[in-house]
Amino acid sequence: MAPLGNFISGQMRDYKDIGGMIDFKVSKKVTNNENKVKISDIHFTPTFVDNKNHHHYRVYPLKEAYKKGLIDHSYNEIMEHMTESMK
């Protein structure tokens, strides 16, 4: 699993507390001196970093953060921000 975005950066302002984690499987097969690398089972989990007084940081899956009322931006607004650089 690898973090994407700011993860736990302590930065302020809009969307600095939004990031994500990617989970994937890497396999390597060697046949007749030929290497083949395969990436599979790719999963992305958007995340939200909550902090209390800038001392106690906790990373939540974005869906869980919404359920706890930690986010004041709309889901569509956040997803647009997260996919903006993919265009």
Which domain, by its residues, includes 12? 2-86
Cβ contact 48:20 at 8 Å? no
pLDDT tens-digit map of 9-58? 555 556 667 888 889 999 999 999 899 999 999 988 888 888 776 777 88
- Region label for 15, one of left (φ > 0), alpha (ψ between -120 and 50) or beta (otherwise): left
What's the pLDDT at 76? 78
pTM: predicted TM-score of the whole model, two decimal places: 0.64
User: What three-state secondary structure class fits 33?
Assistant: coil
Alpha-carbon span 60 to 40, nearest angstrom = 24
Q: In this predicted structure, what is the pLDDT of residue 24?
A: 93
| Contact present, 78 and 15 (Cβ < 8 Å) | yes
The domain total for the chain is 1
